[in-house]
Chain A
Amino acid sequence: MSGKRDQTLKRVANAARGQRVKESALILPFVGMILFLLPIMWPRSSEVGADAGTATSTALIYLFIIWAGLICFTLGLALVIKRFGVGRS
């Protein structure tokens, strides 16, 4: 009996994880989009003066860090999806 219950619990846990993974996979591109579009709100030297503007190097570092972070997240999701076969019907 307890074996059966364990199995049921496991199935429920798997289903919940599958749902979480699916939702993360759906949200991730939107998060990425927002983070990539964020720099357009940064101050530009042509508007606020040469000293107060944003340097290209700063933007460069920001964008590449975000990029790398997104890649890591996607890698994690891909691993989870491959391991647990989420979405395989």
Chain B
Amino acid sequence: MLSLDLLIFVSLIYVAFLFGVAFWAERASDAGRGGWMRTPLIYTLSLSIYCTAWTFYGAVGFAARSGLEFLTIYLGPTVVLIGWWLILRRLVRIARAERITSIADLVSSRFGKSALLGGFVTVMAVVGTTPYIALQLQSVTLSISVFAKGTQNILSSTNIAFWTAAGLAVFTIVFGTRNLDVNERHSGVVMAIAVEAIVKLLALLAVGVFVVWGLAGGAGDVLARIDASPISQWEVSTGRWIGLTFLSAAAFLCLPRMFQVMVVESSEESHLATASWAFPLYLLLMSLFVIPIAVVGLDILPVGSNPDLFVLTLPLSAEQNGLAMLAFLGGFSSATSMVIVAAIALSTMISNHIVTPIWLRARGQGATISGDVRSVVLTSRRISIIGILTLGYLYYRISGGGAALASIGLISFAGVAQILPVMLGGIFWQGATKIGALAGLICGLVVWSYTMFLPSFGPEVLISQETIDHGLWGLQWLRPTALFGIQGLDPVVHAVLWSTLLNSFAFVAGSILSRPSPLERVQAVQFISAFDSGPSARGWQRGATDAEDLLSMAQRIIGAAQAQNLFRTAAQRQGKQGYLPDPTPQFLETLERGLAGSVGAATAHAMLGQMAGGSSVTVEDLMAVADETAQIMEYSNQLEAKSGELTTTARKLRDANDKLTKLSIQKDAFLSQISHELRTPMTSIRAFSEILQDPDLSDGDRPKYARIIEDETQRLTRLLDDLLDLSVLENGQVSLELRQARLRDILDRAEASANVEQHIRIRRSAGREDISILTDPDRLTQVFINLMSNAAKYCEAQRPELIVSVSETPVGITVDFIDNGAGVDKANQDMIFEKFARASDHSKAGGAGLGLAICREIISNLGGQISYLPGQRGAAFRVSLPHD
């Protein structure tokens, strides 16, 4: 038998070794030689704090009592890790982006940096973790008592538990609160637990190998022994198998210590990829020999031996003292590493979410400038560590250390699993709100306490036998083991089912029924869209903050050098010299994240809120900004409309101006033309009048000259008639002689009068012309004549041809005159109906350019319209006349 003194001596050496490893790792990390400590392997090994003394000793006991059921505790985490892409990757990404320091910080930060939620989760975590710490103390005590059996020693079991707790407190305080690391990473502690991870794995494997090939006759023999053992049959209850797998998966995500090593201490996202297969492998190896050890232990150890201690008692019974020592160290490692990390995680949560907020509130406005936050935080962490271990010790004393290891572990698991709905909802559901989260957590905590935690102390300790048997206030449906009258469920499954269900229900209902605050909305978007890169949209306004005050505060929290570095970098980015950047919203946000790494998001936000004069965005601010924006947008719209209007008007004016200019030019041209037209006959008349006065003129010439004079006078008269006609038409003084007439007759008359058959061939479709209309036939004939002679005059085709086509539409009658000449070029199309306009050169026209203008006036007086029809073969005019 191994002497107890030797055991304690070796343990102390082992502890000293761990101190050495942690110390050396911290030194290496400080000196910047710690790169290899941030490898995927170390990360994976640090995850092994999941395997506590419960695993090391308790799994064998669990297996000896319920067969393969113990595997569920490992299958849950395995599923979580092989599904790392789904949840863990997101958690790590969010934690890195938001500088999350603990699971309480995650929940608090997600729901609007709520100090209340952070504090609540912290309390839940402490309550949930306390039984687990007690469990570790119990396992160390139990394992030492194995060696102490038969010897009289001054060390009682309570003494052992006490000194273990004290030693762990010292180690945790020394390496866990050495500094306020910006990212809450503790290289010394991580290194020490990595070493412990290897020790416990080797120890369990060594015991397993010894049991299978030393005590039993190899793998085949072990399988035969399993078949012959009390646990030979697969008798797992469906509810427990599903419930425990779910519970272990949930706890794996929510246990504060797991969150600490898995998310907070994670230095690179890619480490998760390695851990995704390496940690399940670790778990597989840890559980590989559990059933063989249990079966062989049940087989060869005396009946009544505690199966929780088979790992120790089997080697001892075979006088393998060295192996027993290794096994003891393995169990010791399992217990201590868990307690250390749990204490660090919980102390961070307590100081960040309970002590600092209360202290800040107590000190009031401006306290951050005069107070030394750094020392407050560190002191509160140290006190918290002592407090947590004291709680664990007290739980161990109160619960009497009697319950089986596995059941204590399950209570703990179920407690922290209450955070799961809120956590998952927080990172996947944008609609989750603070009220919902609080409702869910309170509901979960109450149901868990009532159905699992309080009864775990045994009847009449915290809950009366009366309540257990007949329910609270005598209500049968409120019995702690049969809520709502559902009986026959396993107590663990019952508690987990109801607590998680009611928790999730309250969370969802609360979230749907409440409205999130603006900050909550902003944080929700940050969390949900963790994988969309882009600038964050948090609100710090440029307040009346003094950069110097900010610097002095930051120095107290994250340390002088780091704070100065942060400020100088920010100042440089703003293009300033020195250490004092402008307190822009961007800078305040950077600073807040920096501080959040040390004191948590809620506290950092509250501190900056105080410093910046509460200038974080409020609903009123947002509404004011929204109002202002709406006004600006409306004004801008009005301006745009006005601008559009002005552009249209300007274009119209420009067009009008162009037209006026053209008209003016045409008028000048006409004046010169009309002068010419009037002068030419006048000159002839004068010249021939003078000749007529010549007495020598022969009689034969006299009538000839007189006729010329008469012709010229007629031409003058015609011109003046036209002008007069147009003037009358334009002034609307014309009197129309309206009567029924056939269109064909009018066209016939026009064709005959125009007398153009030598110049152009006119093609008509007589059938369609048989339409009777109410009009002034003489005036209409005048228009048609004009259009026909125009075609004869201007059509330059080799065989000039004019098509006159008539068609009847619902609105009226149209008569088209289309020739096969060159047409009117686009530039002149607008002008041809104006007075004095002529499309081609004047000499050829032989008129004053009044024809189309007169036509337009006549048709308009007749209630119709004449227009140029573009896109035909040649020049095309359309006369539209109304029906009767």
What residue of chain B has the Cβ atom nearest to residue A59's Cβ? B234
Task: Decide: B82 and A70 in contact? CB cutoff 8 A.
Answer: yes
B572 CB-CB contact with A under 8 Å = no
Least Cβ distance of B685 to chain A in Å?
86
Chain B, 241-275, contact with A by CB distance < 8 Å: what is the 0/1 string? 11001000000000000000000000000100110
Report the minimal beta-carbon distance from B640 to chain A, rounded to whole angstroms. 39
Q: In the complex, are the beta carbons of A82 and B273 less than 8 A apart?
A: yes
With A64-B288, A67-B280: A44-B234 Cβ-Cβ less than 8 Å = yes
Chain B interface residue count, Cβ-Cβ cutoff 8 angstroms: 40
Instruction: Flag whether B281 is at the interface (Cβ < 8 A).
Output: yes
The residue of chain B having its C-beta at the shortest distance from the C-beta of A85 within the complex is: B270
Bound Cα distance from A50 to B232, whole angstroms: 10
| A74 interface neighbour in B75, B235, B277, Cβ under 8 Å | B277
User: How far is the CB of A21 from the nearest CB of chain B, in Å?
Assistant: 9
Which residue from B89, B229, B236 sits with its C-beta under 8 Å from A39?
Answer: B236
A-B contact count (CB 8 A): 116
**Do A74 and B233 touch (CB < 8 A)?**
no
Known contacts A29-B86, A74-B280: A67-B233 contact under CB 8 Å: no
Least distance between B91 CB and chain A CB atoms (Å): 14
Q: How far is the CA of A89 from the CA of B235 in the complex (A)?
A: 48
**Closest A-B pairs by Cβ, 7 of them:** A29-B83, A25-B85, A54-B234, A75-B277, A74-B277, A78-B273, A45-B233
Q: Is residue B531 within 8 Å, beta carbon to beta carbon, of the partner chain?
A: yes
What's the least CB distance linking A25 to chain B, in Å?
A: 4
Contact of A40 among B80, B227, B241 (CB under 8 A): B241
Q: Kindly identify, within residues 221 to 242 of chain B, every residue whose CB is under 8 Å from any CB belonging to chain A.
A: 223, 226-227, 229, 231-236, 238, 241-242
Residues of B within 8 A of A (CB): 67-68, 71, 75, 78-86, 89, 223, 226-227, 229, 231-236, 238, 241-242, 245, 270, 273-274, 276-277, 280-281, 284, 288, 291, 531, 533
Chain A residues engaging chain B, CB cutoff 8 angstroms:
22, 25-26, 28-30, 32-33, 36-37, 39-40, 42, 44-46, 50, 53-60, 63-64, 67-68, 70-75, 77-78, 81-82, 87, 89
12 interchain pairs, CB-CB under 8 A: A25-B83, A32-B83, A39-B234, A39-B241, A44-B234, A54-B233, A55-B232, A60-B226, A60-B291, A71-B277, A71-B284, A74-B280
Contact of A26 among B75, B79, B85 (CB under 8 A): B85
Judged by DSSP, the binding face of B is: helix
Given contacts A44-B234, A53-B234, A55-B234, contact A74 B226 (CB under 8 A): no
Report if A40-B531 is in contact (Cβ < 8 Å); known contacts: A26-B85, A56-B291, A74-B280: no
Cross-chain contact A33 with B277 (CB below 8 angstroms) = no
Q: Which residues of B contact A55 (CB under 8 A)?
A: 226-227, 232-234
A contacts with B: majority SS: helix
Given A37-B245, A71-B281: A57 in contact with B223 (beta carbons within 8 A): yes
Neighbour of B276 across the interface among A37, A64, A74, CB < 8 A: A74
Given contacts A26-B86, A55-B227, A60-B68, contact A78 B274 (CB under 8 A): yes
Q: Which residues of A are found within 8 Å of B533, using beta-carbon distances? A: 89
Q: Are B284 and A67 in contact (CB under 8 A)?
A: yes
**B contact residues around A42 at 8 Å (CB):** 234
Contact assessment for B233 and A56 in the assembled complex, using a CB-CB cutoff below 8 Å? yes
In the complex formed, the residue of B with least CB distance to A21 is B85
